[in-house]
Amino acid sequence: MTPSPEDNEFGSPLPPPQAPVFHGAASKPRRRALGVLLTLVVGFVGGLVGTQASNNWDLSFGSGSSVQSSNSPLVTSEVSPDDASVGDTVIAQVANAMSDSVVTISSSIDDGMTTGEGTGTGVVLTADGEILTNAHVVADATEVTVRFAGETEPRLAKVLASDPGNDLALLKIDATDLKPAVFAQPGTIRIGDGVIAIGYALDLDGGPTVTSGIVSALKRTIITESGALNGLIQTDAAISSGNSGGPLVNFRGEVVGINTAVARSDANSAANNVGFSIAVDEIVPVLEQLRSQAGGQVREEGFLGVGLAARTDGGQGAIISSVQPNSPASLAGIRENDIVLSVDGEPIDGQAGLVAAIRDASPGQTVEIELLRDGKRMTVKAKLVARTGD
C-alpha cells in the first residue's frame, strides 16, 4: 500500500505542504464548463459596460464631416527568400517535432461512489503503441481512449500497469509505426535550462497547448493525494488541468519530465508559476517496474518501520518519532529522535523525501542511512522488508 498524507508508510501523518499541491490532471467536464462559462459571462458583461460608456461619450467628428472606410491594404512586412526561417523559432520547431508523440487521453471514471470523465495527456514511448502518462489520469477508469493530433477518432487503450505512488502509468494501443518521443539522458538536466510543456490543457478543442519556461529547481519532493513524490523538476512553464501526463521538453526536443502537479495559492500562502514534473531520472527505473508489472510481476515496496515528524527548527531531514519493534529500523539501531539526513547518499529534505526513498527501494535491499543523533553524524545500514497491506 502506498503511503498517503493521512497515513504515511510508517503510520505517522504527514503535514500538508505550505502551498497545497493539486494535480494538473483529469479535468471534470462539468466543472470545466462552469469555469469557461464564468469567463464568457465576464467578457459579455464587459462588452455591455463598454457599450454603455460609449453612449455617454461624444464621438462625432463634427457636422458636415465625411468619414468613410479606406480601401488601402493592410501594411505587412516583406519576406525575402532568405527569410524563410523567420518565425520558425526553437519552441515552434520543438512543438512541431513532438506533435506526433503527444496524445490526449480520455477516461470514463467510476470509483464506486461517483461516475464521470477525465482528461489528460500521454507520451508515445514505442512505435508499437506504448504510452506513458500519470497514474491519476487513469485512476478508477473503466475505459481509456487516446487520440492523436489531426485524427478525428479515438483509439481504445489498455492500462498495462499503474504505480500511484510514483504517479506513472503504462498504456498500450493497437498500433504500428508510431513516432516515439526522445527522452533526455538522466543526469543532464540543469537549473535554468529552457523547457516547453506540451499537453491538452483544460481539454480545449484542437491540438495541444504549448507553454515555455525554465527549470526552476531540481529534486523537489511534494505530497499529493497519492502520497509522496520525489526527484521532481520544478518549472515556471504554465501547467494546467489536462496537462497531466504530458511531456516537459528541453530545447533539443528531448523529454526531461512528465508533468504531474502544480502549486496553487490558498489563504495562507501564494504560489505563482510553480509546476512539477517527474524527472527522467525517476522515469527510467519506474518504467522498468511498470513493464515487469505488465508481465505479471507483483510490485513490492520497501518498509523500514518508523514513524516520522517534521523538523520545526529550520533544519534539514526527518525526525524519527517512533520505531517499531523488530523492524528493519530497530535492527539497524535507529532510535527515536534521530534525524535522517540521507539515504544511500541522497539528501532527505523532509518527511516526504524519506517516505519516497524507502518506498522506491526493494524488499531485501540494504540501504545506508545517515543520521544525526545528539549533534553527531553517524551511518547505519538497514535491510528492508516488504511492506504489508495493514
For residue 110, what pLDDT is reported? 85
Instruction: Convert the pLDDT of each residue in 33-61 to its tens digit.
Output: 333 332 223 333 344 334 343 344 444 44
Comparing 8-46+88-299 with 302-386, is the CATH topology the same? Answer: no
Distances (CA, A) of 173 to 155, 176, 299: 7, 9, 23
Q: How far is CA 188 from CA 120, 146, 191, 193, 213, in A?
A: 27, 30, 10, 10, 17
Cβ–Cβ < 8 Å for 246, 197: yes
What is residue 35's predicted lDDT score, i.e. its pLDDT?
32
For 94-133, what is each residue's pLDDT tens digit? 999 999 999 999 999 888 888 888 899 999 999 999 999 9
Sign of CA dihedral 191, 193, 197, 198: negative
Q: Which residues contact 75 (CB under 8 A, 6 or more apart)?
A: none
Cα–Cα distance measured from residue 381 to residue 377, given in angstroms and rounded to the nearest whole number:
14
pLDDT digit string (tens) for 286-324? 999 999 999 988 878 899 999 999 898 989 999 999 999
Q: Is the pLDDT of residue 160 over 50?
A: yes
Q: List, in order, residues 6 or more apart from 237 with CB less than 8 Å away.
A: 195, 196, 197, 211, 212, 213, 214, 248, 273, 275
- Please provide the distance, in angstroms rounded to a whole number, between the alpha carbons at the two ends of the chain: 8
Q: What pLDDT sits at residue 380?
A: 96
Which one of the listed residues 136, 163, 240, 277 is annotated catalytic? 136
Q: Is 136 a catalytic residue?
A: yes
What dihedral do alpha carbons 377, 379, 385, 386 form, nearest 10°?
Answer: 60
Can you give the pLDDT at residue 73? Answer: 66
- Return the CATH number of the domain spanning residue range 8-46+88-299: 2.40.10.120
Cell readout for 31 is 466543472
Which one from 4, 23, 167, 241 is the annotated catalytic residue? 167
Q: Is 5 helix (H, G, I), strand (E, B) or coil?
A: coil
Q: What is the pLDDT of residue 287?
A: 94
Q: Is 302-386 a domain of CATH 3.30.420.40?
A: no
Looking at the DSSP assignment, which residues form a beta bridge with residue 323? Answer: 306
The larger pLDDT score, comparing residue 246 to residue 228, is at: 246
In the chain, what are the domain boundaries? 8-46+88-299, 302-386
Specify whether 167 is catalytic.
Answer: yes
pLDDT digits (tens, 9 = 90+) for 168-179: 999 999 999 999
Radius of gyration of the chain (CA): 25
* Structure confidence at residue 181 as a pLDDT band (50, 70, 90): very high
**For all residues of the chain together, what is the average pLDDT?**
81
Query: Residue 70: pLDDT band by 50, 70, 90 thresholds?
Result: low
Catalytic residue selected from 240, 244, 327, 342: 244
- 333-378 per-position pLDDT tens digit: 999 999 999 999 989 988 888 998 998 888 999 999 999 999 999 9
